[in-house]
């Protein structure tokens, strides 16, 4: 490959990384319960506490793989506990997908230009930039899912030994990232069946062994903890669990699925108009299947793969489609390369404009595609902590908090110990409900200090009746002196009655 092409690919990687970390210096980082929990666990690993069980899935009894904790740990090591440095690290890993997408585009067409165009579309993808700094386990799927399809294509079109290994590791690591990404096994089976004449028993054995090795920690976790997943799978099979917003029948599932893929397709093509952006990609994928274009059909099975799990996730679970975004850039690049150059550049300019505009609009607010509590931003959390110290004027103070999940103070414990202690030299105490069983706690006091604060997180995800209950409990012991809002984040300064 010519050096000039390598230079262009490197420039696209730099652009991708720049767009992903553009607002991190302003602490525009979503940091909620999951992020605080993962920060603690990854740092426990750094201290030698080996883990084999990953984060819990939304279905009780099911757990994701532990891989994410080990990938996240170097970021916290480099940043001495800083979530911002951890986000820079994860954004770097996300941006590496540029190279996988480029290689896929090149393999599909033998044209470097298609690979460069596909990698550029991934680099400027609004959805991919949102995943990049979202400190949560599904983010790994943005890299591992394309890696799986790269291996699958090498396997069925080139017959190379590396193909089944990459396909297996990509699938296994995707499942480690988000357990429901196991649905990508179905496109693998479809294409192995289509290509069965060229698929050898040896390659299938290599795939099987590599896959088992890539999910070995999940298997060990099941053995150690008594096969808890059986109960979770049973609940899914009986319809007793899931995150469905409204789906009741086949028609509802179809509408839900179309809405989900329409949004994801748009967020990777033209996020300025979800209807047009989503329809544009759906038409390309359907056209590929009708024309029986092998490359287009391969990408279409990747794009539509989520249909196999639409019944276990609703509108609040867009991360079940982690890793599908890169296929959007690939199919657009594949067909754009067939357009007359003036038309190609015109469409490309529209796509770039739409994505950059959305990045500039939404990314200063954090991971808005995935966060339920929209104002759980590090910038606002740090400002609220500064407010408590400023009002305490160097004196001891205590805090209580209303949180999601209820009565778990792990976010504020982490932030006070990482940010508050390093900046102000001392910590508040805790006068709220017991934190027994939590990963870490502040010093517990039975009564509030003479100066105390009630931190009220954004109410999304918190049953509204608990607001009056918590304030009522505080009113029985303290009186309200001042109140300040940091977006939807609310801090009350209180004094003893």
Sorted by where each begins, the domain ranges of the chain are 3-365, 378-496
- Res 273: pLDDT: 81
Averages of pLDDT over runs of 10 residues in the chain (497 residues) are 83 97 96 96 95 87 92 97 97 97 95 95 96 95 97 89 94 95 94 91 95 95 85 67 54 76 87 82 86 90 85 67 93 92 92 95 93 92 97 96 95 97 97 92 94 95 94 94 95 93
Confirm if 344 and 336 have CB atoms less than 8 A apart.
Answer: yes
What pLDDT score does 245 carry? 45
What φ, ψ does residue 171 adopt, rounded to 5°?
Answer: -65, -45
Tokens 């359907």 locate to: 286
Are 410 and 33 in contact by the 8 Å Cβ rule? The answer is yes
How far, in whole angstroms, is CA 128 from its chain's centroid? 9
pLDDT at position 313: 58
- Return the closest-CA partner of residue 449 out of 408, 484, 481, 494: 494
Report the DSSP pairing between strands 489-496 and 451-456.
antiparallel
* Spatial CB neighbours of 241, under 8 Å, sequence gap ≥ 6: 58, 59, 60, 232, 235, 312
Q: 52, 217 in Cβ contact below 8 A?
A: yes
What pLDDT, on a 0 to 100 scale, did the predictor assign at position 207? Answer: 96
Q: What is the pLDDT of residues 280-297, one digit of tens each?
A: 888 888 888 888 889 999
Could you give the 3-state DSSP secondary structure of residue 318? helix
What global pTM score does this model have?
0.92
């Amino acid at each position: 490959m010519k050096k000039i092409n390598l230079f262009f690919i490197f420039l696209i990687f730099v652009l991708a990384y720049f767009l992903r970390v553009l607002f991190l210096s302003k602490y525009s980082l979503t940091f909620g319960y999951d992020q605080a929990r993962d920060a603690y666990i990854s740092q426990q690993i750094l201290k030698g506490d080996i883990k084999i069980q990953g984060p819990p899935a939304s279905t009780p009894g099911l757990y994701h793989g532990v891989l994410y904790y080990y990938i996240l740990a170097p970021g916290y090591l480099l940043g001495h506990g800083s979530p911002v440095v951890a986000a820079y690290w994860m954004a770097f890993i996300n941006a590496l997908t540029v190279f996988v997408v480029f290689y896929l585009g090149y393999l599909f067409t033998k044209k470097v230009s298609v690979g460069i165009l596909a990698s550029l579309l991934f680099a400027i993808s609004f959805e991919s930039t949102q995943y990049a700094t979202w400190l949560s386990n599904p983010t790994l799927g943005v890299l591992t899912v394309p890696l799986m399809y790269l291996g699958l294509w090498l396997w069925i079109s080139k017959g190379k030994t590396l193909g089944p290994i990459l396909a297996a590791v990509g699938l296994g690591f995707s499942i480690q990232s988000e357990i429901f990404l196991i649905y990508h096994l179905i496109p693998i089976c479809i294409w192995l069946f289509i290509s069965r004449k060229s698929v050898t028993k040896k390659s299938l054995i290599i795939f099987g062994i590599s896959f088992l090795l890539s999910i070995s920690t999940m298997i060990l976790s099941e053995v150690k903890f008594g096969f808890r997943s059986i109960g979770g799978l049973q609940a899914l099979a009986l319809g007793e669990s899931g995150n469905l917003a409204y789906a009741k029948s086949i028609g509802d599932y179809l509408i839900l699925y179309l809405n989900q893929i329409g949004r994801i397709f748009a967020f990777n093509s033209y996020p300025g108009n979800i209807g047009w952006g989503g329809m544009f990609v759906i038409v390309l994928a359907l056209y590929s299947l009708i024309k029986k274009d092998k490359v287009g059909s391969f990408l279409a099975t990747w794009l539509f793969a989520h249909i196999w799990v639409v019944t276990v996730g609703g509108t609040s679970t867009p991360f079940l489609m982690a890793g599908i975004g890169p296929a959007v850039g690939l199919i657009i690049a594949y067909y754009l390369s067939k357009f007359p150059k003036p038309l190609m550049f015109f469409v490309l300019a529209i796509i770039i404009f739409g994505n950059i505009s959305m990045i500039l609009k939404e990314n200063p607010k954090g991971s808005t595609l995935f966060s339920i509590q929209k104002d759980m931003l590090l910038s606002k959390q740090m400002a609220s902590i500064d407010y408590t110290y400023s009002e305490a004027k160097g004196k001891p103070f205590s805090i209580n908090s209303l949180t999601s999940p209820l009565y778990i103070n792990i976010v504020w414990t982490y932030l006070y110990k990482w940010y508050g202690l390093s900046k102000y030299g001392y910590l508040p105490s805790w006068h709220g409900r017991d934190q027994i069983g939590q990963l870490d706690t502040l010093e517990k006091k039975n009564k509030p200090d003479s100066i105390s604060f009630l931190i009220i997180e954004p109410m999304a995800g918190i049953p509204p009746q608990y607001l009056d209950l918590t304030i009522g409990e505080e009113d029985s012991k303290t009186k309200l002196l001042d109140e300040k809002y940091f977006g939807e984040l609310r801090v009350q300064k209180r004094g003893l009655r």
